[in-house]
Structure 1
Amino acid sequence: MFSGRIPSSLGNLTSLTRLYMHQNSFEGSIPPTLANCQTLLVLNLSGNNITGAIPRELIGLSSLSIYLGMANNHLTGALPQQVGKLANLAELDVSGNQLSGDIPSALGNCIMLERLCLAHNKFEGTIPESFKSLRSLEEMDISSNNFSGQLPEFIGKLKFLKNLNVSNNNFKGELPKEGIFLNASGLSILGNGGLCGGIPQLSLPPCSNSKAHSSRGLLAPKVVIPVACALAFIIALSCFIVARSRRKPVTSPSHKDWKMGVSYLELVESTNGFSMDNLIGTGSFGSVYKGIIPSDGTVVAVKVLNLQQEGASRSFISECNALRSIRHRNLLKIITACSSIDNQGNDFKSLVFEYMVNGSLDAWLHPIDKQYQSKRLSLKQRLNIAIDIASALDYLHHHCDTSIVHCDLKPSNVLLDEDMVAHVADFGLARFLLEATDNPSQSQTMSAGLRGSIGYIPPEYGMGGEVTILGDVYSFGILLLEMFTGKRPTDEMLGDGISIHNFTELAMPDHAMDIVDPSLLIEGEDADANDDKYRNEIQEKPITNRHDRGRVQGRKLEECLVSVMHIGLACSAISPGERMHMNVVVNKMKAIRDSFMKL
């Protein structure tokens, strides 16, 4: 809760490498003297009330190589050309400001950029040709600006690009059909009425094949007749669509990124009549079925609400409201929704999601089905999954227009795709943080009952505390301890009155290896399998005693697991004020993973 101006004297800290000042109430302009910190690797000023222009001296600080964040302030003016000096920067985020003008072509010099976020500003013009040099780019968000022109084909050639959001701009013309433009789940093009073509999943209108007409031939019969026919066809098609929509009692929540709503009968057909053979899970307010949409063969997960359950309709609305406003690679993507009437005339509500082929994290941690009993999650997979979950929560807490609290994080609400990438699901209890604070009566209702699942509910909720992002942090901490000990927070083996937090804390650090999931210790013993990589290079193999190598491997494994459990304990601290924020968790978990993988 720091306030006031940022002291210019911070520029005297010339050996400073990381400066985190985000999520405070700093105001005034950014002091140019920060550019005196010539060894600065990370600078995060996001989430304050900073005004004025971005100092050219600072944006050109070439030492910045990890992260530069100025998001969610009140910055004005253009993005300075000096941004091109950030040749080694991995992440640039200036979203949520009032920056304007064209994007400087010099930004293409930042060839190490992995994430670029310029969303929610007043930028205009076209995407610079120099962007074709950003070959390391994995995520680009330029949504909610005033960009125009065509989307360049070279964007499709950026082979590492996994997420592209260009929604709510003025782009027009035919959509490329290469790279990211073939991935509907990683692409958002909403609010660009002039776009056409692209893959069928994007549901864009077809592009006209006719070339630009010269003024001389504009009124020629060969032009007038096709145009008239086309207009007649459009009018007839519109009438057909209107008539059809009046017949169908199907509506869909107003999220332009969702496909057209499916009917109740289509969902019945896709799930074989909601057959028990297709049942893949049950939750607080309904059941989830695997289905295949008849029209295009898409495999989906259909969540059918049990409207007899108290709170189910409210859960449906909460989930729709949450999912309509968020988009992240580690959040389960909704395809459409259905609110209709079933064959018995009863209300019917369902949500249709992407199908996650590898099921839930819970099924992998505590296998019951034969499908999972022969498999186990490696340490690397667990680290990556934990980072995925933390990244999703960091996005919900710190990078949405309004902070969102999930309220029910647990392993069964984490789903794994074919690449074992984690996706956080089930927003039936989610709350927008501003709603909780702006409406006293609602806030009182929210704090009156427990929100979440037993074992993962933060203790302050049980004492009438209000819903906050730190409640999610607690649930994440418990989940993290569960992932690496292999024990549920409600496991009877923990002992009477002993929580998984206390159980872990008592073992730290000397007996940490005594409580970890045994399969991780087996993995450590299998380290000598790495010998295979030298079978074709015998002379190049390091001369290392097998016992010594195993000892080094064991020590590295122990350091990794102890570090992870320390994070789990810090996140699940009894006092909310002692818990880590999720952006800190993401950075620490990535550092732990990278350190372990160097072995």
Structure 2
Amino acid sequence: MTHSWLRYEWVLLIFFHGILLMSMSSCLKSKTVPALANETDRLALLDFKNRITQDPLQIMSSWNDSVHFCNWIGVTCSPSSKRVTVLDLEAKRLVGPIPPSIGNLTCLTGINLRSNSFNGEIPQEVGRLQRLHHLNLSRNSFGGKLPTNLSYCTQLRVLDVAYNNLVGQIPGHLSSLSKLVNLSLGVNNLTGNIPAWIGNFSSLNVLSLPRNNFHGSIPSELGHLSRLRFLRLSVNNLSNTIPPQIYNISFIYYFSVTDNQLHGSFPTDVGFTLPNLQIFYCGGNSFTGPIPKSLSNASQLRGLDLNGNSLTGIVPQNLANLQSLLWLSLGNNSLGKGKDGDLSFLNFLANCTSLGLLNLESNNFGGVLPSSIANLSTQLDILIMGTNKIHGNIPTGIGNLVNLSYLGLENNYLGGTLPHVLGKLQRLNVLYLENNNFFGPIPSTLGNLTTLTELYMEENRFEGRIPPSLGNCQNLLLLNLSHNNLSGTIPKQVMGLSSLSIFLDLSYNFFIGALPFEVGNLVHLTKLDLSKNKISSKIPTTLGTCISLQYLYLGGNSFEGVIPQSLKNLRGLEDIDLSHNKLFGHIPEFLSKLLALKHLNISYNDFEGEVPSEGIFAKASAISIFGNEKLCGGVQELNLSSCSSKHPKLNWRLLALRIIIPITCITIFVLLLLYFFPMCSTVKKLREGALTTSSFGDWQFPISYAELLESTNGFSENNLIGSGSFGSVYKGVLSRNGAIVAIKVLHLQQQEASTSFTNECNALRNIRHRNLLKIFSACSSIDHKGNDFKSLIFEFMCNGSLDQWLHPKNDERHQRNKLSFIQRLNIAIDVAYALEYLHQHCQTPIVHCDIKPSNILLDEDMVAHVGDFGLVRFLFEASNNPSKTQTLSVGLKGSIGYIPPAWPDWMELK
């Protein structure tokens, strides 16, 4: 279509060129033109140049006095008179207005400024150019109204001002332009009616008025344009019916009235009266009746768009005779009878070997999807059949349509399992399968669709696991698998698809396990919906890196623990649903600081303490906190009880009963545990293989070697805390947040150091407690010499180990410090809490096997932290019989954990 129009335009230009040469005769007759006329042209061109505000191609630099203006780029002069006859600056990226002085170029026959960025109004002075035949100002930024003075340009053949910002009505003065061959005013903001006097332009070949605000009826006078070949009135507000006279203009090859308010039915003989049709676009109106069978007579038809009308009946099978057909759009009508055989015309469309688009959506087609779909053109790019009454399976022959980029089968009654051959459609960008009756597993072959950007599979009966191969679809912007029967854990390969930016919806399934920490890769995601599943464990702190999130729905799961502080980074959140989980603790204050937040649902959890009164919490209708019986305070509309005093006074006897006695019992228990705990046997490795990023679960993101190098001043000896057989420990200050950390750098030349690194990380990967030594991150990289580099980053314990305080040496700085009884008691309680957590609350119970004062570290508040997990033992339940409980030891011959800051001989590793 585009190529045909371009060829036609070239014919017009050649025709006009001959006319232009003849029209210049008055400027050529005189052999001696006064110098004043030449100077007038030169000054007019210089004024044009001076109005240019942007000239990235430096076109205007040639417009200088070093050469005659007739040799300037874009300027054509009469050979004899040296008067300017053509100004052609198409697509030169020029910016600026057209000056009124252009009216001084009185010998101009052609102006072509197409595809630039000229602005301002078209000057009225253009009307002085009475020899003008060709005026093309299309694809610029002209505003204002069409100049009425154009009516003086009575020799004008081409008037093209399409793709601008013109306003107002078509001036009645332009009715004098009776020699027009091309009138193109499309894509502006013109209003009013289409003037009937256009029907007097007997030479008109092209009438293009699309994308304006014309209203009223199409004038029947347009039926007088017997030479009309190109008629485009689309995207306006035209109403009534198409005048029957227009259907008799047999030269028309391009006919478009899409997106108006037209009605009526098509003439049954339209294919005979318009035999030269190549484009017949009538979509987006209210046409009724059947599709005319006579259209098959327009053998050159390439595009047929009847989408979005109220057509009825069946699709004529003889449309298959249109062997040049590229575009067949019949969607959004009432075609078909909802019965078998409605799609039988597909059996014949194999003759349309160039078909690129087939749109049948939102009709009343019934029956099964014919296997003949496999015979459709291999050039088919778009196949849309959604929202019909089609049933049965997807034919395996669909795999032959290897050039499909868009496949829509949604909202039908299709069933069965998805054919694996869908994986052959490797050019597919969009796949709609939602709201059908598909069942069985999701084929792993969908992972072959690496160009896929949108995948809709919701509202079916898919079951089993999400295939990890979907992680290969690294161009996915949107994934919807909600309302199915999917189960198992969510693959980290899918959860970590960083391309997802529109939404990820896995709601209403049966997913279990923890939410993979790779969710932190979704930094561009706008909506995450995991509601109504069985997901457990904690909300990953890495979710806080999804800074584009606006909608977060995690309700109806089994998430536990507190709301991570890292979510404070999600400042664009508008809607949060964490209801019906097992979350506890206080409502984080940062939720009241999220200025974009419009709705918050944390109902039916186990939150406690005071409800904030600021931000989202100031509006009771915007929050839901039902089912949290321990909450108090908040705004009055919540009707919660007031919060009690935070520091009640207790008498000594009550304190003894409630605190001292339990603490004493715990202390005795710890001492007995330390004395009688059996010697741990030589242990085996827990896991094989190198540590991957996924091993760090809820840890912070890995820290780079460069940052560690900077934080330790190049691993300076001044920062060295101590060293041992497997590594050295440095004190560092992280540049990202100023945190003081202890950095354990492994000596990888030692044979077991790398294995120790892996095993220690596995031991620490899933344990978190305030009385266990906190590991921040890890680094597995290459140093500046190209050698392997591995390190662990721990919380820095500024008060050293308990051993340092209990048994100070003569030269130690803590010699003068003594532990009080209360401090000793608190340390014992802290250790008891840590051991109780390891034994009772870990997913797999852990026995430390190496509790001693040197492995108990003290922070600045003298809070004890148990460290050094080099000899832990894991307990696995083999059955319900305790006698069959199995243990698996993780033995590290040298601890690679963090030993507290002290002298080097304290750092000797086992």
TM-score range, shorter chain: 0.3 to 0.5
Report which of the two has the higher share of helix: 1
Question: What is the TM-score normalised by the length of structure 1?
Answer: 0.36
Q: Which structure exhibits the higher relative contact order, with contacts defined as CA atoms closer than 8 Å and separated by 6 or more residues?
A: 1
Please identify the structure whose Cα radius of gyration is greater: 2
Question: What is the TM-score normalised by the length of structure 2?
Answer: 0.24
